[in-house]
């Protein structure tokens, strides 16, 4: 019974490590699906060689995260294998004990899969982990998501406008000439790939740009400042 519970704890720890590492990678600008895949790849020791891998190894903080996941994965897999052998060898020829151990392990695996695949649990746990990493760690979200790294320190990035105040795209790109507009995805489903003087970025609309990471960061900060200004304006309006 002790061995089965040990396996359950190790599975829970592995799931937690995957969540923490993937959220940490997301805070460095890696898209969620890439962050999860690379974390599981590192933790399991599979070591898939993909274009996204270069996005990880070319960034010092991401390398540290993946290195920690590789070390934790090697320790965890060895522990699970050892405990699994002990669990069944220790039962001897006792059929009832073997069935009980197998049922406990199957229950632990089922619960782990439920936690990993349940969207509500996933969103809640990732949100909590993200806040803890931001507050107590050296992780600060870049404010944008890197969709692809096209060259060293150059990427295709996605910016989501969260402020209620619309932003004129003509003025926005005039302040960030290093960036090229790829597409603007409007709330209604329409999209634009060219800048016009009357085109504005509304709340929850998505802006996809291409250019240097430093310029992407400045653009994200400019959009965030617009959100902060809107919040302060709302506070002032609610004061008596």
64-101 per-position pLDDT tens digit: 888 888 877 776 666 666 666 666 665 555 677 777 77
Query: Are 120 and 172 part of one and the same domain?
Result: no
The tens digit of pLDDT for each residue in 8-51 reads: 777 777 788 888 888 888 877 777 778 888 888 887 777 666 66
The tens digit of pLDDT for each residue in 151-194 reads: 778 888 888 888 888 888 888 888 889 999 999 988 877 888 88
pLDDT at 178: 92
The owner of tokens 């809107």 is 230
Among 101, 136, 171, the domain-final residue is: 136
CA distance 44 to 160: 33
pLDDT at 137: 62
- Residue 45 region by backbone torsions, left for phi larger than 0, else alpha for psi between -120 and 50, else beta: left
Q: What does the chain come to in residues?
A: 240
The tens digit of pLDDT for each residue in 91-109 reads: 555 677 777 777 877 887 7
- Residue 204 region by backbone torsions, left for phi larger than 0, else alpha for psi between -120 and 50, else beta: left
Query: Are 161 and 63 part of one and the same domain?
Result: no
154: closest CA among 103, 99, 217? 217
Query: Are 163 and 99 part of one and the same domain?
Result: no
Q: Which domain holds residue 157?
A: 145-238
Query: Are 96 and 158 part of one and the same domain?
Result: no
Q: Is the pLDDT of residue 149 over 90?
A: no
Among 115, 136, 157, the domain-final residue is: 136
CA distance 48 to 76: 19
- DSSP-derived secondary structure letter, 203: T
Query: Are 113 and 222 part of one and the same domain?
Result: no
Query: Are 111 and 177 part of one and the same domain?
Result: no
Query: Are 6 and 44 part of one and the same domain?
Result: yes
Q: What is the CATH number of the domain that holds 230?
A: 3.30.70.1450
Query: Are 154 and 132 part of one and the same domain?
Result: no
Query: Are 159 and 224 part of one and the same domain?
Result: yes
142: closest CA among 231, 209, 46, 219? 219
**Count: domains in the chain:** 2
Query: Are 44 and 117 part of one and the same domain?
Result: yes
CA distance 89 to 110: 23
Among 109, 136, 163, the domain-final residue is: 136
Query: Are 68 and 129 part of one and the same domain?
Result: yes
Query: Are 120 and 156 part of one and the same domain?
Result: no
CA distance 59 to 55: 7
Which two structure tokens, joined as six digits, stand for 84? 């699994």
Q: Is the pLDDT of residue 209 over 80?
A: yes
Sign of CA dihedral 128, 75, 64, 22: negative
CA distance 161 to 202: 7
């Amino acid at each position: 019974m002790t061995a089965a519970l040990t396996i359950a704890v190790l599975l829970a720890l592995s799931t937690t490590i995957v969540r923490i590492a993937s959220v940490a990678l997301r805070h460095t600008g890696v898209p969620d699906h890439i962050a999860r895949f690379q974390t599981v790849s590192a933790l399991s020791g599979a070591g898939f060689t993909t274009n996204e891998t270069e996005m990880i190894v070319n960034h010092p903080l991401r390398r540290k995260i993946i290195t920690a996941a590789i070390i934790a994965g090697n320790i965890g897999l060895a522990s699970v294998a050892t405990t699994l052998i002990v669990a069944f060898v220790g039962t001897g020829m006792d059929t009832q004990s073997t069935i009980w151990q197998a049922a406990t392990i199957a229950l632990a695996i089922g619960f782990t899969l439920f936690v990993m695949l349940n969207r509500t649990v996933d969103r809640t746990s990732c949100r909590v982990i993200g806040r803890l990493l931001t507050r107590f760690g050296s992780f600060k979200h870049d404010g944008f998501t890197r969709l692809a790294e096209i060259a060293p320190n150059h990427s295709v990035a996605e910016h989501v406008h969260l402020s209620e105040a619309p932003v004129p795209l003509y003025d926005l790109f005039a302040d960030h000439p290093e960036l090229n507009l790829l597409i603007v995805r409007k709330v209604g489903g329409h999209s634009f790939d060219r800048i016009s003087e009357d085109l504005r970025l509304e709340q929850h609309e998505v802006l996809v740009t291409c250019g240097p990471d430093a310029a992407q960061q400045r653009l994200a900060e400019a959009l965030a400042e617009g959100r902060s200004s809107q919040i302060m304006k709302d506070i002032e309006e609610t004061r008596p």
